[in-house]
Amino acid sequence: MNMPDPQEVANAWMSQFSDPAVWQTWFKLPDQAAPANPLAGMLKDSGVKVDPVALAALEADYLAKVGALWQDFMSSNLAPPADRRFAAPEWQANPMSALAAASYLLNARFLTALAEAVDAPARERQKISFAVQQMVDAMSPANFLATNPEAQKQLIETKGESLSKGLANLLSDMQKGRISLSDESAFEVGRNVATSPGEVVFENALFQLIQYTPSTATVHQRPLLMVPPCINKFYILDLQPENSLVRYAVEQGNTVFLVSWRNPDKSLAHTRWDDYVETGAIKALEVAREISGAAQVNAFGFCVGGTILSTALAVLAARGDQAAASVTLLTTLLDFADTGVLEVFIDESQVAQREKSLAAGGLMPGRDLATTFSALRPNDLVWNYVQSNYLKGKEPPPFDLLYWNSDSTNLPGPMFCWYLRNTYLENNLKVAGKLNVAGSAVDLGAIDAPVFVYGSREDHIVPWHAAYASMRILNPGNAKANRFVLGASGHIAGVINPASKGKRSYWTNDAKAKGGKGAKPPEQDAWLEGATEHKGSWWPEWAAFLAEHGGKDVKARTKLGNAKHKPVEAAPGRYVKVRAD
């Protein structure tokens, strides 16, 4: 089943800009004489089976709500919808706009329930629900000038200037090939994002290694090596001083090294997963140990960076080298049994199609990856900006996180295809000995180090249950030393939650795995049931974990690198400044 691409839907919208026929085709206002929903008929005519009893109940409920809606409309008693897209007073000031919003929401609820009632395996039903939700979100009356009273009022008040600016914004974004989420002129990598002081102390064709300048008189003997995802730029961990996880780690007395992945071009079109492990993570571990003089490091991986790092540590373990004194994994998947909504993009046919086009060489464009992630939150990352930038002619405000979000990276085709098949599709990585990487059999359970695993409760990319599953894979010989922390919010906002802000909350459960060697931690839901909520950031919990495994305190070095690995250039380095587009 082909998934609708929200960017393509947006482009289709752009080509018509505000054609009310589009709205009328998909979501007609309910008519008491003919209340059938057009998309419902399309879904039934497609051959997809829906339980007749469930369908009859849905239709009866729909007809009852249509009748009630018309009664409320005729009596001027339409209640304001509980949806922020229609929260502005203009929607209620115009009775037809109020009816349009209420009708849309009624049809949307019916279609969503209809998709959920489809008689199909769970995975296929999820795909159908996702596709229907994409269309539902795209056809909101807020997305069209002809049915958006806020945009119409703006048009009148500005004497057409808002429409003129909106068209200019539209043309500019069409040239970029993406929707502008932030005022990109407000930021520059190395000037006001990614500003933590340090030096690039090593580089190869795949990455640069940054060593950050200590800010304390003494540091923990063991350094901290941070491996961010290669799907995004590393500076999500070093946005600005007040929300920089890198700076926080330095301030806690850690000698911090960080991998800055290169944004692949054609010269890396044949790079494999093995290369990211051997030439990437393993090489970074080697250099960090050589410069620090420590036999082991505190190893840190974020998202797919954590998957790469864990694979690298397992490869080293197979070679008889336990490189990590501790392992931190933030929103990382090692067990891919539950990948949430991302499952809709991955099945045998889709992976085989990618392999046919990319496995022998080529690049997975960063723009395509960004579009995939936007599809998970289209109202927030697509349609919100269609309404604001194009319909109302507004400029997006500066926002460092959204600037980073638009700074996408490419991926080498062979590496990407290996990753899709062996993790998301076949879930091979968690099986001891199933995979051979860089010449060694991979057994994640052979990594002999305590782990700190973090998951975000509202994460739609790495569901927290899936992040917790790493607790049952890693360090099985000493499970009592492992620690799991659950944070509030999502994949990024949950992680970037500065300790100084005192925002949000997190959960811990001090109950240890019971029994001796091979003891397992409690199941996910049992863990949460016994967990305690704490206000504020989880960062201090992590800092205490690092200090526990950091070794003795030693005098901080003022000179970065060493005789073998001399500074190449100042942080953040040039690799991170290369844009995919």
- Report d(CA 579, CA 540) in Å as an integer: 34
- Report d(CA 537, CA 496) in Å as an integer: 9
Angle at 400 between CA 397 and CA 402, to 5 degrees: 75
Q: Cβ(166)–Cβ(405) under 8 Å? A: no
Q: Cβ(476)–Cβ(518) under 8 Å? A: yes
- Choosing from 40, 189, 226, 303, which is the catalytic residue? 303
Residue 28 exposed, middle or buried by CB count within 10 Å (0-12, 13-18, 19+): middle
Say whether 417 is catalytic. Answer: no
Helix (H) or strand (E) holding 80: none
Residues in the chain: 581
Q: Cβ(389)–Cβ(396) under 8 Å? A: yes
Q: Please list the alpha-helical segments (H only) found in 319-463.
A: 348-358, 366-376, 378, 384-385, 400-405, 413-419
Give Cα separations from 331 to 56, 226, 335, 473 (angstroms). Answer: 42, 14, 12, 15
- Report d(CA 280, CA 575) in Å as an integer: 14
Q: Cβ(196)–Cβ(238) under 8 Å? A: yes
Query: Residue 31: what are its φ and ψ, rounded to 5°?
Result: -115, 125
Q: Please list the alpha-helical segments (H only) found in 241-322.
A: 245-251, 273-275, 283-292, 304-318
DSSP states of 173-186 as a string?
HHHHTS---S-GGG
Phi/psi region, residue 6 (left: phi>0; alpha: psi -120 to 50; beta: rest), is alpha
Residue with tokens 């998202």: 303
**Given the DSSP bridges, would you call strands 198-203 and 569-570 parallel, antiparallel or unpaired?**
antiparallel
Helices 38-45/122-138 angle, 10° precision = 150
Residue 54 exposed, middle or buried by CB count within 10 Å (0-12, 13-18, 19+): middle
CA pseudo-torsion sign 175, 271, 234, 446 = positive
Joined together, the tokens standing for residue 242 give: 């007040």
- Report d(CA 224, CA 503) in Å as an integer: 25
- Report d(CA 111, CA 37) in Å as an integer: 8
Helix (H) or strand (E) holding 257: strand 256-261
Sheet holding 297-302, edge to edge: 532-535, 505-508, 483-487, 451-456, 324-330, 297-302, 224-227, 256-261, 207-212, 198-203, 569-570
Q: Cβ(430)–Cβ(334) under 8 Å? A: yes
The residues annotated with a catalytic role in the active site are 303
